[in-house]
Amino acid sequence: NPSEILPWISGNQVLIVTNEIVAPLYLDALKTSLEEKEVVDLILRDGESTKNLSTAEKIFDRMLQIPLDRTATVVALGGGVIGDMAGFTAACYQRGIPFIQIPTTLLSQVDSSVGGKTGVNHPKGKNMIGAFYQPQRVLIDISVLSTLEPAQFSSGMAEVIKYGLINDPEFFGWLENNLEPVLLLNPEVLEYLIEQSCLNKARIVELDEREGGVRALLNLGHTFGHAIETATGYGAWLHGEGVALGMVMAMYMSMEQGWVERADYDRACKLIERCNLPVNPSADFGARELKKLMGLDKKVQAGNLRLILSRGIGKAFVCDDYDEEALDKTLAYFAIG
């Protein structure tokens, strides 16, 4: 819809960064709505495995081949990977040019498009290289979710459930009661779900834009999840799948500590499983491997491994005072590779 995007583009040049899955669906329509501008595009391969520095270099090459000047706008048309790559390169190109996000997955609509974090992966750690960079505008169109693969939709649901688990037990209950219309993509229900998710994230980010304190709560399930993603090679497990099992592990470990009741653990597992997300032990990785990879994760503060643990549904907290035994038991139970 041209009336939505045009007012947010001040210069004359636009670079659309998208991928091979999204381009055939929406690129032409977006270009048409931008026809009064000088528009070029760059179509990347799909998936987390393209989120690295060599792809960033490809984008810089394209920017300089045109060349884009400082008033040009970069538009990210795609999911979280596209948002990260386009955002990071927009942040660095000439030390920052305008940037707009059009997230086309549930995951990017409820998570990566809020908060201004961009990052690319390094073989030794996820999102290790990046920038804090806010888009001029995020344009969310719910109708694009109808073309999303079911596994991708589920992956987004992991982050949605996360907001309930962190500090919004009412939202968690709403999800339990409304999961069927959500999975059937009922527009009104989806709109509420996305709105609540973005509000939840924005509230936490506002308190702490640069992640000194409460923002860490958003990493619930992510320290385990990133290790799973790294262990299995970026792309084998979807991000939300890693986060889903990671949240289950965080709840399990909290239960081991005596902080979470079995009933709350079961509720979490049940909702996650209903979204077709993993909750069971996996042979894709081993306990020792995961522990090592978690030690490298950027949530590490001066050598102490900080984790987001829980005292129940909606009661996550930042914890660096736990028994290593509870961690080891959790890893031994879930990481059976």
The residues of the shown chain that bind a second copy, judged by CB under 8 A, are 11-12, 53, 56-57, 60-61, 64-65, 67, 69-71, 91-96, 117-119, 122, 124-125, 128-132, 210, 296, 298, 300-303
* Minimum distance of a second copy from residue 40's CB (angstroms): 15
Alpha carbon dihedral 223, 229, 231, 236, in 10-degree steps, equals 170
122 is catalytic: no
Helix 150-167 to helix 262-274 angle (10° resolution) is: 150
Those residues whose C-beta lies under 8 Å from the C-beta of residue 197, and which sit 6 or more positions away, are 109, 110, 111, 159, 160, 163
Q: Rounded to whole angstroms, how far apart are CA atoms 26 and 318?
A: 40
Structure tokens at 115: 């908060």
Nearer to a second copy, 24 or 67 (CB): 67
Cα distances (Å, whole numbers) of residue 246 to 2, 268, 331: 40, 12, 10
Nearer to a second copy, 114 or 145 (CB): 114
Is residue 52 within 8 Å of residue 122, measured between CB atoms?
yes
From 126, 162, 222, 306, active-site residue: 222
304 is catalytic: no
Is residue 309 within 8 Å of residue 317, measured between CB atoms?
yes
226 is catalytic: yes
* Minimum distance of a second copy from residue 72's CB (angstroms): 9
Structure tokens at 30: 């977006």
Question: First vs last Cα of the chain: how many Å apart?
Answer: 48
* Minimum distance of a second copy from residue 136's CB (angstroms): 15
* Minimum distance of a second copy from residue 115's CB (angstroms): 11
From 31, 58, 62, 211, active-site residue: 211
From 51, 126, 162, 239, active-site residue: 239
Nearer to a second copy, 144 or 227 (CB): 227
From 19, 48, 51, 117, active-site residue: 117
Nearer to a second copy, 113 or 118 (CB): 118
Catalytic residue list = 95, 117, 159, 201, 211, 215, 219, 222, 226, 239
